[in-house]
Amino acid sequence: MGLFAWGCLAIGLQLELGEGHDNGLGSTPQMGYNTWNDFECHGVSAENIRKVADKMVTLGLPALGYEYLIIDDCWAKKRGEDGVLVPDPDAFPQGMKPVADYVHESGLKFGIYTDRGTWTCAGRPGTWGYEVTDAQTFASWDVDYVKTDSCNGPDSLDDRPSSAAIAQYKLFRDALNATGRPIFLALSGWHNWYSPFGKGLANSWRIGYDVRNWRSAWNYAIRVNAFLHDYAGPGGWNDPDMLVGSSDTAVRMTPEQSRTQFSLWSVMTAPLLLGSMLSMTDHDLETYTNREVIAVDQDPLGIQGQIVWENCPLRNRTNIRQKQYYDEIPACQQVWAKPIQDGFAVVLLNLENNSARVNFSISDVCWSSTELQPCDFFEEAAVRDLWSKEDLGRMRFINVTLAADGGSRMFKVVPKAPRKQEVKPGPRASKKRRPSLYPQRVGKGPPLQTDAVHFLQREL
Ligand SMILES: *[C@@H]1O[C@H](CO)[C@@H](O)[C@H](O)[C@H]1NC(C)=O
Ligand SMILES: *[C@@H]1O[C@H](CO)[C@@H](O)[C@H](O)[C@H]1NC(C)=O
Ligand SMILES: *[C@@H]1O[C@H](CO)[C@@H](O)[C@H](O)[C@H]1NC(C)=O
Ligand SMILES: *[C@@H]1O[C@H](CO)[C@@H](O)[C@H](O)[C@H]1NC(C)=O
Ligand SMILES: *[C@@H]1O[C@H](CO)[C@@H](O)[C@H](O)[C@H]1NC(C)=O
């Protein structure tokens, strides 16, 4: 099926979705913690959930917005004769309700995991055929958030849109709605084709496979999400998976890459779900508690950032779906930008294995592919480094050296003229407008490959 057929299918299914999804939640991307990277299937227990809740409170995370504590796979043991899910009695001897109560008393919200198929990915009972029962069970436990995975159901591994998968998620969406309890719904379907349907189904949807190191962050998240910005907005978000962190566990990045992941996730307006808690390093704690970077992610406009400059090889939606592109990280640089209420957030990213210098022309943060934010021409802007927390003054270029292999810098850019100021029509005003979407680039490398990006936007 070609790109154009995807577009048709998107329209067809969108209509079928009817009223869509509106539970009043997710006006900004969710923030919190998920157990999978820390515990996988081995340590999910009432005791460890209490430890995590205590640690989150001790670190002051709830006050920063990290509100959900989400239990991933492996809490359920079987279905009872009444069809109701039975928690693992060794791990949760008192059942789930007291655990939910403890989490709530800690000032957090309680999240749980299921799967749209017959079995979860770790072989626990799945929700297929029990959508109404499970929704009611979760509501009776005062669950606030459900992550629903995609193993062992129809078309689990299909890299094309599946109406069977969407129908299953729709059933569960409606069953949760019927409980009357507002429950944040997070789909975990691993494929970017969920994105055009996402807002009709849920509050967030995964766009790729699990992110467990820098390479998978590039392959399954960063390069994929670059094409999906038009589908995110208040109420529903692209989910490029959890924050990996740099603690010394099987799932890890370097400290530099871990900070880059946080900066990029904020500019991509992604869910901020911490993946390590009990062994979090001081460096990661400093990263995750940077209020100015969190504010970028949680900006009320809710616009997902995009690439405004790059010298990376041509990528488009055809070749991101091809397996061979999953392997190599290209040796190049990108600049991502996101409009926020009072300016722009900018991340300069180096994918190369050597340090690299980028001299970025600040006015290039403007783009007009989103109707929400027409961007008027400006030449210089006040620049603040969001990691060193220094105001750097007014400038026209950000000329910086980026560390090797996932190094980055993040800035907030406030243009001199108020961005939202109305430009009166007329010859003078129109002269001040940018002549093209992506103006003259300053820096090294070949020109930005805008054609592919715009082609794809049209097709989808
Ligand atoms: C159920 O869906 C309706 C229609 O979208 C919405 O108005 C209502 O808030 C939803 N209720 C819950 C509990 O999600
Ligand atoms: C996508 O990129 C590949 C090269 O990687 C190219 O062959 C193909 O024509 C491109 N497709 C579109 C739609 O631009
Ligand atoms: C950089 O080095 C790492 C580790 O050897 C490797 O996995 C990665 O692909 C390299 N990246 C580039 C852009 O060459
Ligand atoms: C960026 O600044 C450095 C000095 O910090 C300078 O040597 C270099 O020429 C500048 N780059 C460009 C493209 O002007
Ligand atoms: C960046 O490049 C521009 C255009 O080449 C140049 O005028 C400017 O001085 C450079 N910036 C720095 C800090 O070197």
HSE (side-chain half, CA atoms, 13 Å) at 56: 33
Active site (annotated) includes residue 88: no
Q: Which ligand is nearest to the CA of 364?
A: 5
Kindly give the distance from the C-alpha atom of residue 189 to the centroid of ligand 1, in angstroms, as a whole number. Answer: 23
Distance of CA 354 to the CA centre of its chain: 28
Residue 326: the pLDDT is 62
The string of DSSP codes covering 223-288 is HHHTT-GGG-BTTBEEE---B---SSSSS---HHHHHHHHHHHHHTT--EEES--TT--HHHHHHH
Q: Cα 234 vs. chain centroid, distance in angstroms?
A: 13
Q: Which part of the chain has CATH 3.20.20.70?
A: 3-297
Asked if the model's pLDDT at residue 383 lies above 70, the reply is yes
CB 326: neighbour CB atoms within 10 A? Answer: 16
What integer pLDDT is reported at residue 260 of this predicted model? 98
Q: Which helix (H) or strand (E) holds 357?
A: strand 356-361
> Rounded to whole angstroms, how far apart are CA atoms 151 and 158?
11
Q: What is the pLDDT of residue 458?
A: 32
Catalytically annotated residue among 72, 149, 241, 299 = 149
List the single range of 221-235, 387-401, 408-422 with lowest mean pLDDT. 408-422
Average pLDDT in the 69-86 region? 98
Distance, CA of 349 to CA of 332 (rounded, Å): 9
Question: Does 397 sit in the ligand 5 pocket, CB within 6 Å?
Answer: yes
Tell me the CA–centroid distance for residue 452 and ligand 2, in Å: 8
Out of 252, 349, 353, 354, mutate this one to test ligand 3's pocket (max ligand atoms within 8 Å of CB): namely 353
The pLDDT, as a whole number, for residue 455 is: 31
Q: Which whole number is the average pLDDT over 190-211?
A: 94
When pLDDT is cut at 50, 70 and 90, the band that residue 249 belongs to is confident
In the chain, what are the helix, strand and coil shares in percent, each to the nearest 5?
A: 35, 20, 45
Which numbered atom of ligand 3 lies nearest the CA of 332?
13
pLDDT at 3: 33
* Cα 176 to Cα 212: distance, rounded to the nearest angstrom: 30
CATH of domain 306-459: 2.60.40.1180
Mean pLDDT calculated for residue range 295-303: 96
Q: Which residues of 27-41 are buried (b: 16+ CB within 10 A; e: fewer)?
A: ebbbbbbbbbbbbeb
Q: pLDDT at position 87, please?
A: 98
| CB 102 near ligand 5, within 6 Å | no
* CB-ligand 3 contact for 333 (6 Å cutoff): no
Whole-number Å distance, alpha carbon 23 to ligand 1 midpoint, is 5
For ligand 3, is residue 331 a contact (CB within 6 Å)? Answer: yes
Residue 341 has phi, psi (to 5 degrees) of: -50, -45
Provide the pLDDT for residue 367.
60
Q: For position 366, what pLDDT does the model report? A: 75
CA 290 to chain centre: 18
Report residue 248's pLDDT band, with 50, 70 and 90 as the boundaries: confident
Residue 3 Cα: closest atom of ligand 2 = 13
pLDDT for 365: 84
Handedness of CA 358, 361, 365, 368 (dihedral sign): negative
- pLDDT, residue 371, reads 42
Q: Is the pLDDT of residue 43 over 50?
A: yes
**How far apart are alpha carbons 160 and 179 in whole angstroms?**
32
Task: Tell me which ligand sits closest to the C-alpha of residue 397.
Answer: 5
Segment 425-446, tens digit of pLDDT: 333 333 333 333 332 222 222 3
- Give the Cβ contact number of residue 380 at 10 Å: 16
User: What does the alpha-carbon distance between residue 401 and residue 358 come to, in Å, rounded to a whole number?
Assistant: 6
Least confident of 27-31, 360-364, 373-377, 412-416: 373-377
Mean per-residue pLDDT of the chain = 85
For residues 265 and 232, give the distance between their C-alpha atoms in angstroms, rounded to a whole number: 13
Q: Whose CA is nearest to atom 8 of ligand 1?
A: 23
78-95: per-residue pLDDT in tens? 999 999 999 999 999 999
Q: What tokens appear for 220 in the block?
A: 């399954």
Q: At what angle do helices 450-459 and 3-16 cross, to 10 degrees?
A: 40
> Which atom of ligand 1 is nearest the CA belonging to 183?
14
Ligand 3 contact via 329 beta carbon (within 6 Å):
yes
Does residue 342 have an active-site annotation?
A: no
| CATH 2.60.40.1180 domain span(s) along the chain | 306-459
Does the beta carbon of 152 sit less than 6 angstroms from any atom of ligand 2? no
Q: Percentage of the chain with pLDDT > 90? A: 72
The answer to whether the CB of 180 is under 6 A from ligand 1 is yes
Ligand 4 — pocket residues by CB below 6 A?
A: 359, 399
Looking at per-residue pLDDT, the higher value among 313 and 372 belongs to 313
pLDDT of residue 321: 67
User: What does the pLDDT look like over 136-167, one tens digit per residue?
Assistant: 999 999 999 999 999 999 998 887 889 999 99
| Rounded Cα gap, residues 207 and 243, in angstroms | 15
CATH code of the region 3-297 = 3.20.20.70
Q: Which atom, in ligand 1's list, is nearest to the CA of 19?
A: 5
Q: Residues 73, 134, 144, 210: which is the catalytic one?
A: 210
Residue 411 pLDDT: 98
- Residue of the CA atom closest to atom 4 of ligand 5: 442
Q: How confident is the model at residue 376 (pLDDT cuts 50, 70, 90)?
A: low
pTM: 0.87
Query: Is 442's C-beta closer than 6 angstroms to any atom of ligand 5?
Result: yes
Q: Is the pLDDT of residue 255 over 60?
A: yes
- Mutate-to-test residue for ligand 3 from 329, 349, 352, highest number of ligand atoms within 8 A of CB: 329
Ligand 5 contact via 359 beta carbon (within 6 Å)? yes
Query: What is the whole-number distance in angstroms between the Cα of residue 181 and the centre of ligand 1?
Result: 9
Per-residue confidence band for 352, with pLDDT thresholds at 50, 70 and 90: very high
Ligand 5 within 6 A of 388 CB?
A: no
CA-CA distance, 173 to 146, in Å (whole number)?
10
Does the CB atom of residue 401 touch ligand 5 within 6 A?
A: no
Residue with CA at minimum distance from ligand 2 atom 5: 319
- Find, among 336, 184, 366, the residue nearest to 263 by Cα: 336
Confidence band for 456, pLDDT divided at 50, 70 and 90: very low
Q: Quick: pLDDT tens for 302-337.
A: 999 999 889 988 777 777 766 655 668 999 999 999
Model confidence at 96: pLDDT above 90: yes
- Of residues 457 and 346, the one with the higher pLDDT is 346
Closest ligand 3 atom to 329 CA: 13
Locate 28 and state its tokens.
């900004």
What is the distance between the alpha carbons of residues 291 and 270, in angstroms, rounded to a whole number? 16
1 versus 188: which is more confidently predicted?
Answer: 188
